[in-house]
Amino acid sequence: MNIDPIAELLVLFICLLAGTSTLAWGLMAYPLGIAPRASGYFSLANLLILIGVLLTTLRDQTSNYLYWFGADMLLLLGFVLLRSGTQRLFRLNSSIRLDGILLLITGLLMLSQPPSIEASDTLGMLFSLMAATTFLLMAKDNLIALEHTVKRHIAVTLLSPIALMGLAFALRALLLALTPSLTNELASIQSADAIPMLWLFVVMTLWINVIMMGNALTRLVQKMRQLADRDYLTGLWNRRAMQQRLEQLHQRWLRDGQAYSLILFDLDYFKQINDKFGHSAGDAVLVRTAKQVGKVTRAMDFFCRLGGEEFLLILPGTDGDEAQIIAQKLQQALRQSSLNWQGSLIPINASFGIVTTTTGDTPDSLLALADKAMYRAKETGRDRYCTAERQPLDRPVTTSR
């Protein structure tokens, strides 16, 4: 079958977009390493779409399964991989098994029709239903992922090309089912009648890849920002992240009146550990401390390393009595986490300072009070906790060991 020159030009443009996207996503996957698994899916998806479109242009009057069934299945598999890449990019639950079942059912239904121009309306309807389902579900995946990071109207704007592609395929399936006379315009990409549909596919192909590229770069920025907020050794939140979190929690306390507490602790005799066993042993002690304390903290708590051997635990919605109970658990957890270092047992203990919010406090004043309480714990024997003194004449409340 002869192909219309303008339709041929648009098909070549679609192939150019798909080929360029294949290379671009391949570079992002390797060597750049930007969301490598998701980028790999996107690269393979565009490659399959490229091959599928090229095979579609070879359709003629003969009954050829490669040009009909093979081309359609490659295109649909490319769409499925676009969805899988999206889920991988946003760390959503994978639907590859369900998508595979739907693809298999679609393929079996297509095989029930002989691959020919006479069956193109039925084949086009089956193809469009599967494509519409995939793109609409992909739009839903994007909405779920983006609504937690951007405002809803921005998320809707970003995913609109994907949803429009799904709606376009759904409309195509409906028109093929209800208006067989439009088969030339809707089921073929070789005639002049198909030019409007081809223009739609050109725009959508470009738009979808641009949005996915933007999503991948956004994920990279988020990852870099998270790394900037994490301590390189322990993986805990660092001082910068602590200051942001503490300020947010303090503002919530001023607004809602819900108390929160801080537990500041410093490992005992840490310098002696470094001097006797070396800094590698000291690093191992810090990592062990982070893991052991992390096991007994709550999901809502914010655990960070302030620097050196000093750690801070921010306890939202926690009063002074509850904070003391948590400090006891931390104390016990560290006592039971001695490190076996090259045949020597290194005990891990810490001194704790506890403070709970009250009227007139600021984040800085709370940290200062917790720091003073912690140093009182060290001065009175170490491996214990002290609560903050509010008045100079108040007796410190201490608990041995």
90 DSSP assignment: T
Is 245:237 a contact under the CB 8 Å cutoff?
Answer: yes
Q: What is the pLDDT of residues 162-189, one digit of tens each?
A: 888 899 889 888 888 887 666 555 556 6
Is 374:263 a contact under the CB 8 Å cutoff?
Answer: no
CATH of domain 239-399: 3.30.70.270
* Nearest residue to 236 via CA among 312, 138, 151: 312
Q: Which of 247, 309, 310, 379 is catalytic?
A: 309
* Nearest residue to 25 via CA among 224, 221, 213: 213
Q: In this predicted structure, what is the pLDDT of residue 391?
A: 64
Is 396:389 a contact under the CB 8 Å cutoff?
Answer: yes
Could you tell me the two tokens for 175? 């028109």
Whole-structure pTM value: 0.60
User: What is the three-state SS of 322-345?
Assistant: HHHHHHHHHHHHHHCCCEEECCEE
Give Cα 384 distance to the centre of its chain: 40
| Residues 6 or more apart whose Cβ sits within 8 Å of residue 209 | 17, 21, 24, 42, 46
Is 137:129 a contact under the CB 8 Å cutoff?
Answer: no
Q: In this predicted structure, what is the pLDDT of residue 148?
A: 67
- Phi then psi for 283, rounded to 5 degrees? -65, -40
Tell whether the torsion through CA atoms of 87, 45, 208 and 130 is positive or negative.
Answer: negative
Q: What span, in angstroms and rounded, lies between the C-alpha atoms of 268 and 349?
A: 6
Positions of the chain with pLDDT under 70: 1-2, 61, 148-150, 180-194, 218-227, 391-401
Map out the domains of the chain as residue ranges.
5-228, 239-399
Residue located via tokens 């005990």: 347
Q: In this predicted structure, what is the pLDDT of residue 378?
A: 93
Q: In this predicted structure, what is the pLDDT of residue 53?
A: 87
Q: In this predicted structure, what is the pLDDT of residue 199?
A: 81
Q: What span, in angstroms and rounded, lies between the C-alpha atoms of 42 and 83?
A: 9
Is 123:115 a contact under the CB 8 Å cutoff?
Answer: yes
Q: In this predicted structure, what is the pLDDT of residue 397?
A: 42
Express the helix, strand and coil content of the chain in percent, nearest 5 each: 65, 10, 25
Q: In this predicted structure, what is the pLDDT of residue 191?
A: 65
Q: What is the pLDDT of residues 343-381, one digit of tens each?
A: 899 999 999 999 999 888 899 999 999 999 999 999 999
Question: Is 309 noted as a catalytic residue in this protein?
Answer: yes
CATH of domain 5-228: 1.20.1070
Mapped onto helix, strand or coil, the DSSP state of residue 349 is: coil
Beta bridge partners of 302: 314
* Nearest residue to 131 via CA among 92, 93, 176: 176
Same fold, 5-228 and 239-399: no
- Phi then psi for 315, rounded to 5 degrees? -120, 95
Is 47:18 a contact under the CB 8 Å cutoff?
Answer: yes
